[in-house]
Every structure is written in structure tokens, then in C-alpha cells.
Amino acid sequence: MARRVLRVGTRGSLLARTQTEWVTARLQRVHPDLHVEIRVIQTTGDLHQSVPFHQVGTRGMFVKEIEQALYDDVIDVGVHSLKDLPSVLPEGLELACIPEREDPLDALIAPKGQAVRLLPQGARVGTSSLRRRAQLRHFRPDLQVIELRGNLDTRLRKWEEGQYDAIVLACAGLRRLGLAGRITERIPLEVCVPAPGQGALGLEIRCGDRETRRLLAAVHDPDSADCVAAERSFLAAIEGGCSVPAGALATLQGDRLTLTVVLASPDGAWVRRHTISGARTEARQIGETAARVLLEAGE
């Protein structure tokens, strides 16, 4: 019997390739006869690394070309950082698998012993995220929160060169690359709520591809999936009601799911937070309810 070939699409950054290799290694442990071909696909976001995210002018800028490769039958599965994947997928594609999630919090990279609250007055903090920028400015209005683009290695190098006093990245990316020791502070929720889906991977396939879905089921993590379902449901509802920076993080304790969400003005002048709990079977409804609460608070 011929070995099954699974064509997997990924961005070309070191982090994206490392994440994809992690997924494929887990798949091959469960399916020893599976042959995996990793295909690197350049995305819009990769082509415009010198331009601030909010100026690139397209949603899904790290996923569209991978999704097109799925449509064109060039790949069977696309591996995404789930926070990059829009809350509503294009027709004909589905989210088939969410593997076990990595640390979802944001990470501060700064001189040893510092935390966001301990940074010097007026410190220059680099981040590419409007969500992080808004929450940091709200917590510490004195900080100079400035644009930081490039892949993870480039961002770390810019900090080491002294272009910034501190930078904010995702804990997950640093941990996946073996750089957890660089984290000065796992930024607490009361300072910065992470992006919906942060730390999780999303494996996207063509609708109706039962064989690929069967293969991926072996690395699917129901706990991570339920948490992400609440966060992405919140994001979908928010995107229908406003365009301000948003964050969400769900956690599980037994069958109880707790979701913490945030909306903020881009300049950080105001921040709205809400925490809600319920049965994990109601994950999507919890997300929708949280969105309604925050949207109504601004009316």
C-alpha cells in the first residue's frame, strides 16, 4: 500500500516553520506511514515587513495566500497562528484541528528584573500590535509605545541594539523557539489581555476533505478548542459592532469556562473589561454574551 502524502502549507518565517514541524512530528508519531511535504508560501504580511500592520490594508494578511493554495489543491492543510486567522473563514474552508495550546500571554523583553510597571518613565516600548499598544498606553500613559516590525529574530536584534528600551512579543513564539529564558515578564491579564487565539495553532482544510480531517483528529485538543471557540466567538461579534482593539482569553477549570475580554480605544484613553463564566459546552454563547456586554457599555 502506498504511503499517504499530506501536503502542509506554512509561512516561511523561522517561527512558522518551527510550529509546522512541531505539528507534523506529532502527526507522524501517530501515523507512522504518513509522508509529510511542507510547502512554504509567502504571504502579504511577509512582503510588507516595513509597513505598520494597520497600514497594510488587508485582513488575513498572513493567511490569504495559504488559503488560495488550499483552493488550488496545492496543499491539503494550512498551518496558521490562530490569532492571524479571521474569525469568519472563507466559503469552502474549515478549521479542522486545534492542537494543544502554548502559553497565551504576552511577554515583556526588557533589562533583567523589570516588569511593565517598573519600566523607567518615558521608556520606549516596541510592539506591532494595536491591541498591545492601547492597553500599555492605558496602564502606563507615560510610555512611548512605538512600531516594531520584522520576524521574531529581527525584533529581538532591534532591542539588543538599543532601538527600544523594551519590546512586547508573544510568550508562545519565544517558547516554541526555545527562547523562554528571554522573557522578563509574562504580562498579567490586568495589564494586557492577549489576542483571541494567541498561543494556539489552527489547521485549516477544504470542507469535505474527510481523510485529512481524520488524520488531523489525532492531534486535536478539545480543551484548547473550547477556549479558542469562546475567544473567536467574542471576536466575531465585536467585528460586527466596532473596529477598536480587542483581546480575549478563556481558561478551563473542569467543565467551567471563564472568559476575560477587553476593548480599548486605539490611543488607550479608555479600556473596557469584562469576565464571564459558564459551562464549556456554551463556549460560543459565552463569547457572544461578553461582546454584547462590552458593546452595550459604550452606547
pLDDT digit string, tens, across residues 44-69? 755 444 454 444 444 566 799 999 99
Q: The C-alpha cell of 151 is what?
A: 520576524
Share of the chain above pLDDT 90, in %: 84
Instruction: Please check whether residue 194 lies inside any domain of the structure.
Output: no
Residues 181 and 240 in one domain: no
Instruction: Please check whether residue 124 lies inside any domain of the structure.
Output: yes
Q: Which of 33, 76, 84, 221 is catalytic?
A: 84
Tell me the mean pLDDT in the region 69-73: 96
Residues 92 and 215 in one domain: yes
CA distance 34 to 178: 27
CA distance 136 to 188: 12
Residue found by looking up cell 488575513 in the block: 60
The tens digit of pLDDT for each residue in 132-150 reads: 999 999 999 999 999 998 8
Residues 213 and 237 in one domain: no
How high is the pLDDT of residue 267? 93
Q: Judge if pTM exceeds 0.85.
A: yes
Residues 204 and 91 in one domain: yes
Bridge partners of residue 260, in order along the sequence: 249, 275
142 is catalytic: no
Residues 92 and 127 in one domain: no
Residues 6+ apart with CB under 8 A from 192: 106, 116, 131, 132, 135, 136, 139, 168, 247
The tens digit of pLDDT for each residue in 168-216 reads: 999 999 999 999 999 999 999 999 999 999 999 999 999 999 999 999 9
Structural domain tally of the chain? 3
Give the pLDDT band (50/70/90) at residue 235: very high
Residues 57 and 182 in one domain: no
Tell me the mean pLDDT in the region 7-33: 95
Instruction: Please check whether residue 193 lies inside any domain of the structure.
Output: no
How high is the pLDDT of residue 157? 94
Instruction: Please check whether residue 195 lies inside any domain of the structure.
Output: no
Residues 270 and 245 in one domain: yes
Residues 210 and 63 in one domain: yes
Instruction: Please check whether residue 191 lies inside any domain of the structure.
Output: no
Instruction: Please check whether residue 192 lies inside any domain of the structure.
Output: no
Residues 240 and 293 in one domain: yes
Instruction: Please check whether residue 138 lies inside any domain of the structure.
Output: yes
Residues 62 and 121 in one domain: no
* CATH number of the domain where residue 276 is located: 3.30.160.40
Residues 214 and 88 in one domain: yes
Structural domain including 268 reads 232-297
Residues 88 and 204 in one domain: yes
